[in-house]
Amino acid sequence: MSETGVLESQPALVGGIDLGGTKIEAIVTDEGHHVLGSARHPTPTEGGPADVANAMAAALTEAAKGASVEPAQLRGVGVGSPGVVDSRAGTVSQADNLPGWIASFPLAAALQSALGTRIALGNDVSVATAAEFELGAGRPYRSLLGVFWGTGVGGGLVLDGTPWHGRGGAGEIGHTVIRVGGRRCPCGRRGCLEAYAGRAAMEARARRLRDRGVKTILFELAAEHGRDRLTSGIWERALEHGDRVATRLIDRAVDALGVGIASAVNLLDVEAVVIGGGLGVRFGEPYRARIVAAMLPHLFNDSRPPAVLLAALGDLGGAYGATLLVG
Amino acid sequence: MSETGVLESQPALVGGIDLGGTKIEAIVTDEGHHVLGSARHPTPTEGGPADVANAMAAALTEAAKGASVEPAQLRGVGVGSPGVVDSRAGTVSQADNLPGWIASFPLAAALQSALGTRIALGNDVSVATAAEFELGAGRPYRSLLGVFWGTGVGGGLVLDGTPWHGRGGAGEIGHTVIRVGGRRCPCGRRGCLEAYAGRAAMEARARRLRDRGVKTILFELAAEHGRDRLTSGIWERALEHGDRVATRLIDRAVDALGVGIASAVNLLDVEAVVIGGGLGVRFGEPYRARIVAAMLPHLFNDSRPPAVLLAALGDLGGAYGATLLVG
C-alpha cells in the first residue's frame, strides 16, 4: 500500500466528548490538536443513560458538521465520562450526577451505533488531567495533581509522566475527609471536601438556607437567566452582587479546597497542581490565588510549595483530553 | 580475579540502623536477609545530633559484635532517619522528634568516621515501607501505602512497584488534615492526623488532662517502669487497666487513622495498606481490625477496600529496610 493509501485509511480527524453534570462539550480536532468544530449541549436532567447518549451523539454530530465531516469519517471519538468507567467493557455505572445512571450502561456501544465510528471511554477527570499534562498548564512538569472544581470535586494524577489510576478508582480528592463528622456530602458520607466545595452540595446548602428564611438572590438570578440549577455563572453573578449566602459558601469552598489540596500534596509532593472545572475556570486567577493562600498554612513542606496553576485549556480540557484517548 | 577473590572483596554482611524518636534499632544481616546480630538502644533525649550519632554507632557496633564482625568489615551500613534526609549529601535536618536537630547535620560522615564503612541514608518510613514491600506483608502487591503509627504518624508509598518520593518529601500522611481548625499538632499546625494519633501528641494531651485534674494512671505506670515517656508498652498497660484517658485517646487515634487512611486510599486507590510503627506493631491484630472498621465508612469505592495488613517485619522493619539501602 502506498504512503498516501495509509494516510487515506487513517483519517486525521478525531472527536472528543466531555460529559459533565451540567453540559456536554464536543469537539473535532486535527492532528495538531486544533479545534475544527465544536458544540455544547445541556446534559439532560431527566430520563436515563440512553437519553444522555443521544444528547452526546447530537453534540458530536454538530461539532463534526462544524468541521465539515460526517461522524463516521472520524478516526474515532473519545469520551470523558463521570462515574465508574470500564474502558475495556465500554460501560459506565454509578454516574451519580446524571439522571437514572446507577446500573452499568453500554455507552461505547450506544455511541458507536449512533455515530458509526469507534469509541474510546475514559474517566472525565483523568482525561482532563492528561490534557493539561500533555497540552496545557502541566506541560513543564512530570508530576501533577489535577483538581476539577465543578458540580463535584474531581481529581486526576500524573506521576513521573504517567497517569496514575490505582486499581481504576484513584483521584477521588473530592472525598478527602476534611472535617470528621462534618457536612453531609452528595456521596452520602460526611465531611468530604466535596460536601463544602462541590456546586451540587453548595446548591443544596443554599436551598436549605433559603427555605429557612435566609435571604439570597441565588435562585432569583437563576430564574432570571432561565436556569433550573445554580450554574458557575449564577454563582459568579451572586458574588458580584455581594450576596451573603453565595459569599459565605464560596469562602468555605475555597478554604476546603486549600485544605484538601494541601493534604494531597503532603502525601504525594507533586510538582504542580492544576485547577480546572466549571467553577475553577469561571472564577480564574483571583480564586487560584485564594486557594493557594488557603493551602499554604496546611503544607508540611511549606518552604517548597508546588506550582498551582489554572487549567490552560479552560472549558475544553475535558474534550481535548477525550480526543487523546483515540489512538 | 578469581570468583573467590570477588567474594572476598565484596563482604556479604551489611548493617542497618533504624533511628526512631524513642529507640535506635541496629541489625547486621547476611545476603539472605537473616539477622546475625542486633541491638536496641534508647534514643538520647538530650544533647544534639552528634550525641545521637554516637548512640547509633554504639548500637551498630554491638550488633556487629553479635554477628562476630567489626563494623569496618561490613559492606556498608544503611540508615533510616526521621526528618528531612538528603541522601546524596549525607545530611539530615529538621528531625523534630530528636534533641536539638533542626539545622543540617552530616550524619553519613559522622557514622562513616565512627564505623569505618560506607553509609547510605534514607528516610525512615520510606525504608520501612520498602522493607515491607520487598520482604514483608506487601510482597503480594504492586502498590502499597505504609502507615507507621508511633511517636509521629509517618507514611511511605510504593506505586507500581517503585517507591514514590515526589520531590523528596512525599508520604506525610500524618499531616493529612482530618479536622479543619482541630487539635494542635506537634508540627505547629492544626487538625492533622498526627495531632490525634501520634504518641507524642497523645502524651502531651494526656499530660494536659492530668494537669487539669483528670485521673489517669499513665504517668504512674511510666514512673513504675522507669520511663520518662509514655512508650507503646505504657499505653498498652494503661488500656489493660481500663484507664479512661488512655482509652479515650487511643479510641480517637484509631478513628483518626481510619479517616486519614481512607482519604489517602480515595486519592491513590492502592492495593494494600501496611500498618507498622511502635504502636501499630505493639497493638497488633485487634487494632488493625479496628482501624479497618474506622476506615470503611469513609472509603469512596467502598465495595472494593484495599487489603489492610500488619507490618510483617514488626519492630525490625525499619532496620531491615535500612540494610536494603546498601547496594
Domain range list for chain A: 3-127+317-324, 137-311
The arithmetic mean of pLDDT across residues A121-136, rounded, is 95
* Residue numbers in A near B179 (CB within 8 A): 178-180
* Residue numbers in A near B294 (CB within 8 A): none
CA distance linking residue B207 with residue A265, whole number of Å: 32
pTM of the model: 0.91
CA distance linking residue B174 with residue B177, whole number of Å: 8
List Cβ neighbours of A241 (8 Å cut-off, separation of 6 or more): A217, A221
Closest partner residue to A180 among B157, B259, B304, by Cβ? B259
Q: Which CATH superfamily does the domain covering A3-127+317-324 fall into? A: ATPase, nucleotide binding domain (3.30.420.40)
> Which phi and psi angles does B162 have, rounded to 5°?
-125, 135
- DSSP states along B235-262: HHHHHHTT-HHHHHHHHHHHHHHHHHHH
Closest partner residue to B173 among A168, A267, A301, by Cβ? A267
CB B327 within 8 A of CB B22: no
The arithmetic mean of pLDDT across residues A90-97, rounded, is 90
**Angle (nearest 5°) at CA A189 between B145 and A84:** 65
The grid coordinates listed for B156 are: 511511605
| Bridge pairing between strands B23-29 and B84-86 | unpaired
Q: B131-135 long-range contacts, Cβ below 8 Å, gap at least 24?
A: B131/B313, B131/B317, B131/B318, B131/B320, B131/B321, B131/B324, B132/B274, B132/B276, B132/B311, B132/B312, B132/B313, B132/B317, B132/B321, B133/B158, B133/B163, B134/B324, B135/B33, B135/B312, B135/B313, B135/B320, B135/B324
CA distance linking residue B229 with residue B199, whole number of Å: 10
Q: What is the pLDDT of residue A97?
A: 79
Q: What is the pLDDT of residue B314?
A: 87
Give the pLDDT band of residue A84 (cuts 50, 70, 90).
confident
CA distance linking residue A303 with residue B250, whole number of Å: 32
Closest partner residue to A176 among B170, B267, B301, by Cβ? B267
Q: Which amino acid is at A201?
A: A
Is the CB of A166 less than 8 angstroms away from the CB of B187? no
Is the CB of B267 less than 8 angstroms away from the CB of A267? yes
| Nearest residue of chain B to residue A268 (CA atoms) | B170
In the DSSP assignment, the letter for residue B165 is -
Closest partner residue to B269 among A169, A179, A263, by Cβ? A169
Q: Mutate which of B266, B269, B299, B301 to test chain A, going by most A C-beta atoms within 10 A?
A: B266
Residue A48 has pLDDT above 90, yes or no: yes
| Nearest residue of chain A to residue B268 (CA atoms) | A170
Q: Mutate which of A93, A141, A160, A176 to test chain B, going by most B C-beta atoms within 10 A?
A: A176
List Cβ neighbours of A189 (8 Å cut-off, separation of 6 or more): A175, A177, B297, B298, B300
| Nearest residue of chain B to residue A171 (CA atoms) | B267
CB B179 within 8 A of CB B191: yes
Is the CB of B259 less than 8 angstroms away from the CB of A304? no
Which residues is A41 bridged to in the sheet? A24
Closest partner residue to A155 among B157, B267, B297, by Cβ? B267
CB A286 within 8 A of CB B174: no
Is the CB of A169 less than 8 angstroms away from the CB of B264? no
Number of residue pairs across A and B with CB atoms under 8 Å? 122
Residue A64 has pLDDT above 90, yes or no: yes
Q: What is the pLDDT of residue A11?
A: 76
* Residue numbers in B near A164 (CB within 8 A): 159-160, 268
Q: For residues A146-155, b (16+ Cβ closer than 10 Å) or e, as one string?
A: bbbbbbbbbb
User: ipTM, 2 decimals?
Assistant: 0.90
* Residue numbers in A near B300 (CB within 8 A): 169, 172, 175, 187, 189
Is the CB of A267 less than 8 angstroms away from the CB of B165? no
Domain pair A3-127+317-324 / A137-311, same fold: yes
Which residues is A145 bridged to in the sheet? A157, A273
The grid coordinates listed for B299 are: 472509603
Is the CB of B167 less than 8 angstroms away from the CB of A255? no
Is the CB of B270 less than 8 angstroms away from the CB of A297? no
Q: Which amino acid is at A227?
A: R
Q: What is the pLDDT of residue B4?
A: 46
Q: What is the pLDDT of residue A8?
A: 52
Of A60-64, A199-203, B94-98, B271-275, the poorest mean pLDDT is in B94-98
Residue A179 has pLDDT above 70, yes or no: yes
Is the CB of A166 less than 8 angstroms away from the CB of B268? yes
CATH topology of domain A137-311: Nucleotidyltransferase; domain 5 (3.30.420)
Predicted confidence (pLDDT) per residue in A136-172, tens digit: 999 999 999 999 999 899 999 999 999 999 998 899 9
CB A76 within 8 A of CB A326: yes
Residue A2 has pLDDT above 80, yes or no: no
Closest partner residue to B176 among A189, A267, A270, by Cβ? A267
Domain B139-311 has CATH 3.30.420.40: yes
Reference A153, options A218, A86, A82; nearest CA is: A82
CB A163 within 8 A of CB A130: yes
Q: What is the pLDDT of residue B53?
A: 98
- DSSP states along B291-314: HHHHHGGG-SSTTSPPEEEE-TTG
Is the CB of A300 less than 8 angstroms away from the CB of B177? no
Q: What is the pLDDT of residue A230?
A: 95
CA distance linking residue B171 with residue B91, whole number of Å: 19
Is the CB of A173 less than 8 angstroms away from the CB of B297? no
Rg value, chain B, Cα: 20
List Cβ neighbours of A303 (8 Å cut-off, separation of 6 or more): none
Per-residue pLDDT of chain B (327 residues; tens, 9 = 90+): 444 444 455 678 999 999 988 889 999 999 999 999 999 999 999 999 999 999 999 999 999 999 999 999 999 999 999 988 999 999 999 898 799 999 999 999 999 999 999 999 999 999 999 999 999 999 999 999 999 999 899 999 999 999 999 998 899 999 999 999 999 999 999 999 999 999 999 999 999 999 999 999 999 999 999 998 899 999 999 999 999 999 999 999 999 999 999 999 999 999 999 999 999 999 999 999 999 999 999 999 888 999 999 999 988 999 999 999 998
Predicted confidence (pLDDT) per residue in A14-41, tens digit: 999 999 888 999 999 999 999 999 999 9
Q: Which helix (H) or strand (E) holds A5?
A: helix A3-9
